[in-house]
Structures are given as C-alpha cells and as structure tokens.
Amino acid sequence: MRVITALLILLALGSAELRKTRSGGGRGRGRGGRGRSGTVKRYAAECKEYSEAGDKYLDCQDRQLTAVATGWPEDISHLLLARNKIQVLRDNTFSQFRNLKSLDLQQNDISMIEEGAFAGLTKLTTLLLQHNRLQVLTEDVLIPMPRLRHLRMYDNPWKCRCELDSLVRHLQVPSHRNLGNYAKCAEPANLRGQKLKKMKADLLCPELQEDNVLKEPEEIPQGPITAKKHPDATTTCRTYMFPKPLLDCRSQDLKNIPADLPSDIVKMDLSKNSIKQLRPKEFVAAKDLKLLNLSSNNIDRIDTAAFAGLLYLRELDLSNNSLHYFQYGVLEDLYFIKKLSLGDNPWTCDYNIHYLIYWLKHHTSVEYSGLVCNSPPEFSGWLVEDYVKTYNAECPKDILLGQTDTAQELTAETEESETEQLPQPLSTHKKFEITRLS
C-alpha cells in the first residue's frame, strides 16, 4: 500500500523527477519504501510530505485551507499552499518553519498581511503571492527575509497610493532584480497598468509633490489600452512553481503569444488557442524553456527567427495546426531539441518540405511524429520522408533548374544521404541510423 502511494506521488512529479529519483534513491526504495525520496507522510489537513534532492517539501495545495494548521512538520524547506482559501496572514504565521527556503501562497484570497507575518523566515529565498487580492503592503513585511531573491506578486489589485510608497521604492532598488516583477497598479485610474517596478515612485503620493498633481498624470501612456492589444502572460495565464515552473495559458482564446513571458519558466502550455503565426523572437525572454506546447492552434506561419533564444528547448508540440511546411532556417535555433510533434497538419509534399526532412536527417537523435503528406492528392497519405526519397530518386538534376542556391544545396544534401543507403562501407551517418533503430 505504502509502495503504491509512493509510486503515485512519483508519477505525479513527472518523468524528469522520476528519473532523478530512480538513480538517486533507488536503493532506498529497494529496502521497502523507507528510503528518503519514497517516503510520504500524511498530516491532518491531508498534506503530503516528501523529499527531493535532500530538501523536504510539504505539499498542501488545493485543500480549501483557510490558515496554517498546527502540527505540521517544522523542518521543511518548501511549503506549498497554492490554491487554498487563505484570506489573512497574521503575525508569526510561519515563524516555526526556520528552514523554509520557499513559500508558495499563490491563488489564495489573501487581502491582508500583517507586518510580522513572515517573521523568522531568515532563510527564505522565494515567496509567491501572485493571484491574490492584495491592495497594499509595506516594505516592513519584507524586512524579516534578508535572503529573499524571488518575490512574485503580480495579478493583485495594487492600490498605487501613499501606503505603497515604501514597497515600490524597495522593489526599485537595482539589486532587487527579481522582486515584484510584472506587478501593476489597479488604481487610481491614471496609474492603472503601470508596473510597480518601473513607475515613478513620486506619483504615489502626489499630495507630497504639489506640482505633480496636475502635470504628471497626463504624460503617462494609458496602461490598459496596450494591455488589451497584446494580452499579458501574467494576467492571462496561470503560473505554477512546483514541481517545475509552468506557465499554463491553455484555452484562453489567445491570438498572439502573450507579452511579458516570465523569464524562469521551464514549461509553457499555449495549446487550444487561436494563434495564427509565430513572429520573430517571441520567446526570447523564456530562455529556460524546455517544453513548449503550441498544439491545437491555427498556426500557418512560423518566422525563421520565431524560436530564437530557445537554446534549451527539448520538446516542441506543434500538432493540430495549419502548417504546410517549415521555412528554411526555422529549426536552427533549437540546439537541444529531442522531440517534435507534428501530426494533424496539412503538410504539403512539394519542394518546400525538403528543408524539414533535410534537418531531420542531420539531427538523428530527434524523435518526431506525424509527418504525413496531406497534399497534393498524388502523395496524400504518404510519409513525407518517402515522398522526399522518390523525389530524389526520380528527378535527380533537371528539377534543380531555376531553384535558388539554397535549394540546390538542400537537394545535394538529401541526395547524398540517399546514396548512403546503398551497401557500402559504414559511414558516420549510417552509424547514427543504427543507433536510432535500436
């Protein structure tokens, strides 16, 4: 029974963690589920305790909690309280958790935080307060956490008036680079949409700066107008920090990639929207991205530089879109890609599709699926690779007339790999193919 529970938790942690656990804690589990990483204890509020890479986690997410219960283990490093019903954080709420490094309070109903709520959290580095109902907060609340490096507080209705002055000035200190990014004023009207990080702090207290009252508000571009044009990731999408930072923008009726992508996300789900094209450099901010899901949109154009900066992307899901081919160069930024899902697209088996096949031939470790010709009718239903093979076999040189240099180069390359398949001494390419089949 205990082993089954442990297995379920492991599955929920995702395959990456699973692999880590297998190599790291495999011996522990072999001894009967008492090893560190496999152990799961349950507490009164049905929280789960587990260890990952030597850190203890207490996962109390999605449990309708209205407060921190007594009796929770005190030696934990990470406390996950996302998606509960907490409204107020009283003084010393967390002071027993002296080892806490991260505290996730996002997606609650928090509207009030007492000044000493975070007292004792001297080791805390990450505090997540996004998607709550906070209007005011003073710098004093942050003082007990000298190591705080990541503070998220966007999607709260910040009231940009005098009471917020000390907080805004704190966030704007240059060394506080990752504190309070993306948080915006909800009121007053003339400051709505302004980022706390970037606004002129003097505007918060116009009473103190008489001459600003009349001049400044008019000079400020109206935030909400630009926001409507290009929806903002932090308000449209949900972020989850555990087990991996995920930005979930599924089914939001998005027509474009949202602006202001957080820089530290590892997975992004943009599936089931109405995105039609991917413009240059739309993902550069999300440089740590490993999984990008763009399935079930209407994408029919991908700019050559669309994936610029996605150096670490491992998996790209483009299935169920309107793609006919990839422009030459589209895939060149994806150095570490391992898996491409391409099914349910109207791939057109003509000359333009050759780049994709050429690229796949030179990136033999990439697993791909769904490359089937949709048109022209004579090739409909064929595997795209088979189409390219017949093209090279039947029309070796004459079709090249009139093609560009790039096209010639491409054909030369694919032809070359064609001859490799004739019996002859093993070439390096051939070796790669054998590896892939096994």
Ligand X SMILES: *[C@@H]1O[C@H](CO)[C@@H](O)[C@H](O)[C@H]1NC(C)=O
Please report, as ranges, the residues that interact with ligand X according to CB under 6 A: 250, 271-272, 293, 295-296, 298, 315, 317, 320
- Among residues 294 and 349, whose Cβ is nearest to ligand X? 294
> At CB < 8 A and 24+ separation, what contacts does 253-256 make?
256/230, 256/231
CB of 18 to ligand X, least distance (A): 16
CB of 391 to ligand X, least distance (A): 29
CB of 256 to ligand X, least distance (A): 16
CB of 72 to ligand X, least distance (A): 33
CB of 301 to ligand X, least distance (A): 16
Alpha-carbon distances, residue 279 vs 256, 294, 301, 308, 344 (angstroms):
9, 14, 8, 10, 22
CB of 211 to ligand X, least distance (A): 54
- Among residues 148 and 261, whose Cβ is nearest to ligand X? 261
- Among residues 314 and 363, whose Cβ is nearest to ligand X? 314
- Among residues 306 and 313, whose Cβ is nearest to ligand X? 313
Find the Cα–Cα–Cα–Cα dihedral 326, 332, 335, 336, rounded to 10°: 0
Residue entry with tokens 């050759």 = 354
Nearest-angstrom CA–CA distance, 191 and 200? 10
Q: Across-strand partners of 51?
A: 56
- Among residues 60 and 316, whose Cβ is nearest to ligand X? 316
6 Ramachandran zone, left/alpha/beta (phi>0; psi -120 to 50): alpha
- Among residues 249 and 356, whose Cβ is nearest to ligand X? 249
- Among residues 126 and 271, whose Cβ is nearest to ligand X? 271
CB of 320 to ligand X, least distance (A): 4
Pick from 348, 351, 347: which is nearest to 399 by CA?
Answer: 351
- Among residues 181 and 341, whose Cβ is nearest to ligand X? 341
CB of 90 to ligand X, least distance (A): 40
